[in-house]
Amino acid sequence: MRASFASVPGSADRSNEDFAAASHDVVVLLDGAGTPPGVESGCSHGVAWYARQLGAQFLIEAGATPRRPLADALATAIERLAALHGDACDLTHTNTPSATVAAVRRTGDDLEYLVLADSVLVLDVLDTDPVAVTDDRLARISRSLRAEMDALPTGSPEHTRARCAYAHKLGSYRNTDGGFWVASTDPAAAAHALTGSLPTDRLRAVALLSDGASRLVDRFGLTDWSDALKILADDGPAELIRRVRAAEDSDLHGERWPRGKASDDATAVYCLL
């Protein structure tokens, strides 16, 4: 596989909590779930640390054990992270760091994929429309909780307060049946990922996008997956993110597109097979 990627933090004064990495046969993309500034998490390491460490562990495990399902490799990586936190972190805390995960692995003539929570994987299938693999459980819960936050101007003190309340309520649905599943401290979450595989000779390429990048299509509706793949192929991942930022800059207060953060960390990976 030939992978190229770009990753841009949502704001210059905060760490990028997305993480992407690739080996010759595995690509992983994680989006750390950030608690709003000032909210206690029980962890001294932080969300960016969690996403990077989990991504690195998953990349290693998925590459080292090609016959194990990707979900099993992810479960092992989540288990290792719990140990890496150490005793000083309270892993039972509602806001303990978590991350969405998207990954692909080339094994022989197949491409396996895994999607957990709201990162998006887009398969560029030959002779047909692209297939977007999206885990919509988080989005469905989120929609039912965010009305109050979305009614307020993004960045205002009222919006920040509503965002804290929203994050708190959302946390109670995390890794529960009937809620949504995300990588955090419970290895069992990995079994709830969407997984599948396709023969590589049916595929032209595959894209992995954090929700800060996929929003050009699935939140803003400014283009479709076919055109997003064309931008990635012709101009590269950085251009896709530039277009996201241009849209956000045209709507800084979230009047056209209500959202939690004016700009989110945005990562796009494009892999040619």
Under the binding rule (CB under 5 A), the answer on residue 14 touching Zn ion is no
Contacts by 128-136, CB closer than 8 A, 24 or more apart: 129/225, 129/226, 130/225, 130/226, 130/229, 132/218, 132/225, 133/194, 133/196, 134/218, 135/180, 135/181, 135/193, 135/194
Scanning 44-52, 103-111, 129-137, 250-258 for contacts with Zn ion by CB under 5 A, the matching segment is: 44-52
Binding marks (x or -) toward Zn ion, 60..89, rule CB under 5 A?
-------------------------x---x
Q: Using CB under 5 A, which of 14, 45, 161, 245 touches Zn ion?
A: 45
**Pairwise CA distance, residues 158 & 53, whole Å:** 34
Where in 170-209 is the site for Zn ion (CB under 5 A)? none
Instruction: Please identify, using beta-carbon distances, which residue of 22 and 81 lies nearer to Zn ion.
Output: 81
Q: Which two tokens stand for residue 194?
A: 């969407």
Place of tokens 């929203």: 166
**Pairwise CA distance, residues 59 & 90, whole Å:** 26
Q: Using CB under 5 A, which of 43, 74, 101, 229 touches Zn ion?
A: 43
Do you know the residue count of the chain?
273
Instruction: Please identify, using beta-carbon distances, which residue of 85 and 105 lies nearer to Zn ion.
Output: 85
Least Å distance, CB 1 to Zn ion, is 32
Residues that bind Zn ion (CB under 5 A): 43, 45, 85, 89
